[in-house]
């Protein structure tokens, strides 16, 4: 079976003078380890750019969908994907991952099909790396995230484990030593 390596980035702007939220993704096999994320959109004008960094022989599919359902419900995360993020925030076990290259690892068994991750801060910059690994030094997917405000622009992603035994690693790269909520 041919592996379909993919590498891409996206940038998300909330206005002409904003620092974009940046997400960089690298996956060993885009078919087995696709990337899915929800980006929080402030009520201002917004733009998103997606770029395939792979060679022309490895095209990539992308889909960007506005959460119209939540916007029509008042934008308070009561419907659509906003409600998913809010539910995950309410139900999940919160932990703090401090800066200075702190790392937390989460193992899951082969029957687990996917893992959802919500990262946010108390308004400080969010700078993190997430890795899906299967065994020692075998990273299947790596995601680097930067947001200038991890409270108004948190990160939510869903990662697929391809039905094999693996573990999910979260690594905070904020060198200023600020806590990362995971």
Q: What is the pLDDT along the chain (182 residues), one digit of tens a residue?
A: 445 677 888 888 877 777 888 999 888 877 777 888 877 776 667 888 889 988 888 888 888 877 666 666 665 655 555 666 666 667 666 777 776 667 777 777 767 777 778 888 888 888 888 888 777 777 778 889 998 888 888 888 887 766 554 555 554 443 333 444 44
> Whole-angstrom Cα distance, residue 77 to residue 86?
6
Helix runs in 47-170, H state only? 68-72, 80-91
Q: How far is CA 180 from CA 5, 61, 115, 149, 170, in A?
A: 29, 31, 18, 11, 10
Instruction: Provide the token pair at 124.
Output: 């400080």
Instruction: Provide the token pair at 141.
Output: 């997917």
Q: Which of 127, 130, 173, 177 is nearest to 153 (CA)?
A: 127
Q: Which sign does the torsion angle of CA 140, 159, 72, 122 carry? A: negative
pTM over 0.85: no
Cβ 170 vs Cβ 128: under 8 Å: yes
CA dihedral 41, 157, 27, 20 (to 10 degrees): 20
Query: Mapping DSSP to helix (H, G, I), strand (E, B) and coil, where does residue 116 land?
Result: strand
Instruction: List for the chain the helix, strand, coil content (%; round to 5).
Output: 10, 40, 50
Helix runs in 3-145, H state only? 68-72, 80-91
């Amino acid at each position: 079976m041919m592996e379909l390596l993919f590498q891409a980035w996206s940038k998300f702007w909330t206005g002409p003078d904003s620092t974009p939220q940046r997400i960089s993704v690298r996956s060993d096999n885009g078919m087995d380890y696709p990337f899915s994320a929800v980006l929080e959109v402030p009520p201002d004008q917004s733009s998103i750019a997606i770029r395939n960094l792979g060679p022309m022989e490895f095209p990539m599919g992308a889909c960007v969908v506005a959460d119209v359902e939540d916007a029509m419900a008042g934008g308070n995360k009561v419907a659509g994907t906003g409600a998913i993020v809010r539910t995950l925030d309410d139900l999940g076990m919160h932990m703090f991952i401090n800066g200075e290259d702190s790392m937390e690892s989460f193992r899951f068994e082969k029957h687990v099909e996917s893992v959802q991750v919500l990262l946010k801060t108390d308004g400080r910059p969010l700078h993190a790396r997430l890795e899906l690994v299967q065994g020692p030094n075998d990273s299947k997917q790596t995601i680097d995230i930067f947001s200038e405000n991890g409270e108004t622009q948190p990160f939510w992603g869903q990662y697929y484990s391809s039905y094999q035994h693996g573990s999910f690693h979260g690594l905070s790269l904020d060198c200023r030593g600020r806590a990362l909520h995971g």
